Structure formats: C-alpha cells, structure tokens
Structure 1
C-alpha cells in the first residue's frame, strides 16, 4: 500500500464512487463512502457486494476476500466523518459547480495533511485545486468505468501539485493493480480528448442521416474492431456526461470541431440519458435494447 495512505474517503456514491470503493477495499484500504443521500450509500454498498459476488462466481476472487473487502467499507453519513482519511477522492457528477461546492464543505473537515483528489474526466485540475485550501496537495486521479474491470487510471497534476503528492498518488494507484498514464492538465486529458469527439462524430453521422443507430454501431464494431459501438458506449457513459465533456472541450479549446452535436443536446434535454435512464440511443425498457432512431 502507498505508505502514508491507510484510509480513503470517497465523496459520491454513484457508479464511479462505488467502483473506486470496490478496488480500494480489495487492495487493503479502509474506505469511507459519503453521499448526500443515505439511500444512495446503501445502494452503493449493495452494488459493491453484488459485483464482488460476481467476481467470486467467476473465480476471480475468493469468498473470504469478498467478506474482508466488504468489512473495510463503511458509510460516512456526514462530511465530518471524513476527518481521519489520508486521501479523499471526489467522484460526483461531471459538473464544476457541484464539485466546487463539495470541496468548500469538505476541506474544513479534512486533516490538513490529507491529499485531495478528483475523479473528474475533463475539468481543469488547476482550476479545481485553486478553489481548495490545499492546491499543492490536490491531484486528478481519473478512473475508467467500470472501475473494477478497467485497468487504466489517468494521473493529472495541477500547476501547484507538489512532487510528493504526485508520487504518493502514483504509488497508491499502482497498489490497486492499475496501469497509470500521466496526462498534462488540458481539457478532457488523454482518453476523453480522443474518445468523446469520436462519439460526438458518430452522433453527427446519425443526426445527418448517414446511418442508423444499428448501422453506425455495427460499422464500428466490425469495421474498427471496437468491442462496443460508439452510440452504445455513449449510452453506457451517460449522454449528460458526454455532453458535459464535449462542452468542456469546446469551451476550453475554442475549436469548432468540438461543438456538441445538436442531437446529443436534444437527447439530454429530453432526459434520455442512456442506460441509467432507460432510454438513450437505445430503449432499454424491454427485454432487449432497441434503437430509438
């Protein structure tokens, strides 16, 4: 384990937060998970338990490891409960206003020596760090979704991030058996800087009537050997998250090639956010997903 880190606090008990809790607990860290909603924390614990149970059934985990891993994760109902953590990871929605609000509430409750990390997939680490009381102890640790399955983590330092913070974070991520890639602090970093414009372009191809949902996804799965079509992947990520990242790219780089497709905007406005909402480019409400266009 990363020497100075024993306890990890996670703020945000959604898909990413529960995945981060899962891998941290199995790597031997004590984990405290916080969310505004107690119901969401319970849901996250059930998700982690279910995912670990699946790993046991597939022979990737021993039952004793599952039991021990689950025993390391505890709910933190209040921000004050995170006062003893060595590393706090913010894993809330991809909205800068929400993240800033969390840091404003969190920082007064943290140990002054604790490292503060964000799991943002696109927002400036330097800008987020500047809103906290510890920019030199602030870093981007961007896990990929689903966290227990994906091997990559992007590490992004802000302009003020000290070497000791970066090295501690690097050692921590390595202890989770993840592969690290280091990105400069540019909008959307490496993976999403490349991936999201591809997804956005696929939505333009749909918008312009070049191909149907099925045609586009089949073309990229069989023509480019992608495991999942770009529209299916967009639904998996969440169309609201895709739109947020494209807006960060468009605002941050001021290049028209990053303009979010109007059809993506329309789907988000309709509340068709993908798999989590039951509808996106596919309708998930029946037995099998059906294209919506």
Structure 2
C-alpha cells in the first residue's frame, strides 16, 4: 500500500466475510480479485456481492459518485500476485488458513501487506505459515463491514511497523477506523463476545429464558443494538462454534466449550441467517 500505487485487493475466501470485504472494497473504488477453491461458491459470490452493493448504496454506505470498482473471481491464487494487499478470510480453522496464507504469500512480492481476517486465531501463530511473517497483520472486520466501520487492527509479535502502516492506509482507503490491539486468542471482541454468546445459548438450553427474552434483555436493558443470539445468527453458528473451539484450545478456559445447543444447531444445519434458521427464523432466506 506504499509508494503511491493505486490499491488492488486480493481476497481469499468467498464466504460471508470474504464477500462482505469484497463488497466494501468495490464500493469504495478498490478493485478486487476474489479467490476460492470452489467455483460454484464464486458464482454465488458474484450475485451476493451485487446484492450487497445495492443495499449498501441504498443505505448511503459509500460516498456519492464513487463508481463500483472491478471484481475478478478466480480459483487461481496466482492472480493475486500483483495485488497491493491480500486479505485472507477463509474458514476459522488453522489448517484452512495456513494453506491459504502459505499458497498466496508464495506468489507475493516482499513487502506486500498480508492480512488475516481471523476472529480468534493468534496472528503470531498464523505467521508461522506465511513466506514473510513481518508482512502479516490481523484485521478483524465486523459483519457487514460496509455498515460497521470500526475494526480491530492486531499487531502480531513479528508484524513490522511498515505492515501496520500499510494496514492503516488500506483501512483509510476502505473508510474503516482501526482500533489497535495486541495479539492473543480472540483479541478483544471475540474474547468477550463468544463467551457471551455461549452463555446466552446455555441459558436457552437450560430453559431459563427464550431466545427472544435473552436478546430483549440486552437490547432493552443494556441498550445493545443487537442481542447475543441475533448476533450469533448473523455471524453464523458454525463460525461461532469454530471460534469457541479455538478459544477453548488456546486458553484452556472451559467457559469457551461450545454448549450442547450450539453444537446441535450446527449439526442440524441451523446456522443462522445464511440458512434461514438459527436461534431465530429468517423467511427471506428459507
């Protein structure tokens, strides 16, 4: 992102967050090459990104008069070789992220910013799998990123000052505001949020309250814009369980062990908004 070069963003992963980050960049005037190993997922991503861009424009999420930038979709990771920055946003599992990062960084020039959008895995752990650990930082984007404009910018132990500056430049181009945080399992947001979701699900599991009551208490009593269970549905309950597993393994804290209800919902395919049913139902998706 340095030297006055116009930004071109590579995004690894065409899931919920990958497509959201791509839409954010395209709507901000930054061209994107979106990479996924699943061709049909890329076809769905094109449709989903177009829909997100229309919604974001209707909500005034992008500056008026900024035309949408170009989108390229591909299964060939070598297409990111000339990107000014690459954001990894694949499944929240170490093996998946390690493979994506290793493959992409093998084709990047030294000094190219590499970002992991991990929500729980420590950046220094992921740095073991990139070609140049000093080029890697973490940026934890919120969902949807074109509406939630603040992110966690995570400094890994081996992240260089140049990489952090490049990340700040990228975020400025995307209209995002960074909160600088240190490295560690779950960072700040998910260290707190995932445990809250797990406890909220356990309360429903134990019959102490309905999902509606749990979330009403958070929105009505505490002023939260969304309750923990609606937030979980937005994140995806499969992603919640994966993040809890990461936190449990790396902290040893049993409070992060996914409760039976969360595990059961994931096993039943009730993953939240993306499947039409989680703790709540979403008829437009069904």
TM norm structure 2: 0.91
Match of 1:150 in 2: 148
What is aligned with 2:27?
26
Shift of 1:186: 0.9
Measured in 2, the distance between the counterparts of 1:283 and 1:54 equals 21
Change (3 A) 1:282 1:54: closer
Q: Is the 8 A contact 2:28 2:173 kept in 1?
A: yes
- 1:56 Cα shift? 3.5
Aligned-residue CA RMSD (Å): 2.2
**Partner SS, residue 217 of structure 2:** helix
Q: Which moved more, 1:29-38 or 1:189-198?
A: 29-38
Would you say the 8 A contact 2:24–2:145 is kept in 1?
A: yes
Alignment deviations for residues 228-282 of structure 1 (CA, whole Å, 9 cap, x no partner): 2221221111111111111222221222332322221222222222222232222
Question: Which of the numbers 158, 161, 171 marks the counterpart of 2:159?
Answer: 161
Q: For residues 21 and 137 of structure 2, what CA distance do their matches in structure 1 show?
A: 16
Contact 2:143 2:234 in 1 (8 A): no
Residue 79 (structure 2) aligns with: 81
Cα drift, residue 227 of structure 1: 2.0
8 Å CA contact 1:5, 1:87 repeated in 2: no
| Mapping 1:168-179, distance limit 5 Å | 168-179=166-177
Residues 85, 111 of structure 1: 8 Å contact kept: no
The 2-side partners of 1:98 and 1:217 are apart by: 33
The answer for the alignment partner of 1:138 in structure 2 is: 136
Distance in 2 between residues matched to 1:110 and 1:80, nearest whole Å: 9
Structure 2 partner of 1:102: 100
Q: Which residue of 1 aligns with 2:192?
A: 194
Q: Judge which range, 108-117 or 202-211, deviates more.
A: 108-117
- Quick one: structure 1 residues 88 and 203, their matched pair in 2 at CA, closer, same or farther if it must change by over 3 Å? same
Where do 5+ consecutive residues of structure 2 fail to align?
none
- Tell me if 1:275 matches 2:276: no
Q: Helix, strand or coil for the counterpart of 1:109?
A: coil
1:208–1:51 distance in 2 versus 1, CA, 3 Å: same
Tell me the residue number matched to 1:49: 50
Partner Cα distance (2:61, 2:29) in 1: 17
CA distance in 1, matches of 2:228, 2:185: 21
Deviates more, 1:19-28 or 1:172-181: 19-28
Shift of 1:151: 1.1
Cα 1:238/1:109, change in 2 over 3 Å: same
| Aligned-residue offset at 1:118 | 0.6
| Rounded Cα–Cα distance in structure 2 between residues aligned with 1:56 and 1:281 | 29
For residue 60 of structure 1, report the CA deviation from its aligned partner: 5.1
Secondary structure, counterpart of 1:130 in structure 2: helix
- The answer to whether the Cα contact below 8 Å between 1:86 and 1:113 also exists between their aligned partners in 2 is no
Give 1:48 shift. Answer: 2.2
Instruction: Choose the corresponding residue for 2:210, options 209, 212, 215.
Output: 212
| Matched ranges for 1:8-23 at <5 A | 8-23=9-24
Moved more, 160-169 or 209-218: 209-218
**1:12, 1:91 within 8 Å by CA — same for their partners in 2?**
yes
